[in-house]
Chains A and B, each alone.
Chain A
Amino acid sequence: MRSNDHQIKKALVAFTVEKTLLDMGKPVLDAVSKKLLDDYRCYLPDCYDHPEYLKRILSELFGNAHVAIVNSIKNDLDEFSQQAPIHQFIVALS
């Protein structure tokens, strides 16, 4: 049951991140996904457990503007932020 809940939250976060990056453009999502694979040997859903990976990659690609992208992800996850794991993800990403 607990692992199901973990998987669901993982999928939710992955979907939100993907939606934010797709809002910019498919190649942006591709570039971030590729960098995750090249640098950390992981995929977008794995960012749920390692938000610091995503944060570093966004910062490397977009510089100061990564804050706006992170804020966009946070806004989309706002309604779930009362759940501790999601809240922890948001805090780690900020």
Chain B
Amino acid sequence: MQTLLENILTKKYLLASLATSAVVVLTANLLGRDAAILVGNLIYIPITGVLLVMAFLTFARFGFTGHHGIAWASFVGYAVCAFIAEMLWIIMELHFKIDPFPSAADIFYLVEYPFLLLFFIAYLQPIRGAVTKKILAVAILIPASILAACKILVTPGAGGELFEIFLGSIYPIFDSILLVPALVGVALFFKGKINFMWSLFFFGTISVFIADSAFLFGQSEDSYYTGNPMEILFHWDYILLSFGLYGNLALFNRPKTRQKSDDLA
């Protein structure tokens, strides 16, 4: 069980991680575009690597037991796809020196979404009875409103190929779909210790939604490059998810075997 001190310490490391990724990217941008592209690519290795490791650890804890086991298996699928997608992006941009969008990386970016959606659904399945029409309505209304606002505010420019614009448009739409179960989870687990993980997942989804909208805009203007400051929000998504996993692992850690004398004391 997490004590208050552990909770605060977790947040301290979370804030430090978020700040570090922002400082690294902003500093690289100050050094020039080439430095920003190099750093912007390489930073994904530790960030997605940590997420992948945390996902495997969580799945190892739960196994295939119950709905949560299925949920965490799906999350591993998401983390694997995210890692492969980022690595493909890095290889294409840094090794082959070709534009990584669109490319095979997008296959894995798109395949991530069903895995993450399945995670949310499987996790919420045992408590689906608590999902009221009111909660569902609010959970659908908020992302739909945000998506509509983004579509109005983020008007694609004349640049960019039609297929690229179409592909870039899919990501914010899929992100807004994911916001629905994330919001439902936050509402349902409100006041519970599990809510820490769900809140981080929700903010991570918001973060990637904004980042994908900015990506779409940048692509259409032909001004987007890996390592630009908006990419910080992609990093924050992975970091928030990783800390959510850590919080969940701390909550459901394996019980230590006790001495019999302790129980009788």
A interface residue numbers (CB < 8 A to B): 22-28, 30-31, 33-35, 37-38, 41, 59-69, 71-72
Option from B69, B188, B255, B263 in Cβ contact (under 8 Å) with A65? B188
Interface size class of B (residues with CB under 8 A): 20 to 34
Tell me if A63 and B194 are in contact (CB < 8 A).
Answer: yes
Instruction: Please name all residues of chain A whose beta carbon is closer than 8 Å to the beta carbon of B252 when the two chains form the complex.
Output: 25, 27-28, 30-31
User: Please, which residues of chain B bring their CB within 8 A of the CB of A64?
Assistant: 130, 187-192
A-B CB contacts (within 8 Å), total count: 89
Which one of B60-68, B95-103, B151-159 contacts A?
B60-68
Instruction: Name the interface residues of B174-215: CB closer than 8 Å to any CB of A.
Output: 187-195
Task: State the main secondary structure of chain B at its contact with A.
Answer: helix
* A27-B130 contact given A64-B187, A65-B188, A66-B192, CB 8 Å threshold: no
Task: Please give, as numbers and ranges, the residues of chain A lying within 8 Å of B61 by CB-CB distance.
Answer: 27
Hey, which chain A residues are within 8 Å of B254, CB to CB?
27, 30
Smallest CB separation, A90 vs chain B (Å):
16
21 pairs from A and B in contact (CB 8 Å cutoff): A22-B65, A23-B126, A24-B66, A24-B67, A25-B252, A26-B62, A26-B66, A27-B62, A27-B68, A33-B255, A60-B193, A61-B194, A61-B251, A62-B194, A63-B189, A63-B190, A64-B189, A65-B127, A65-B189, A68-B188, A71-B130
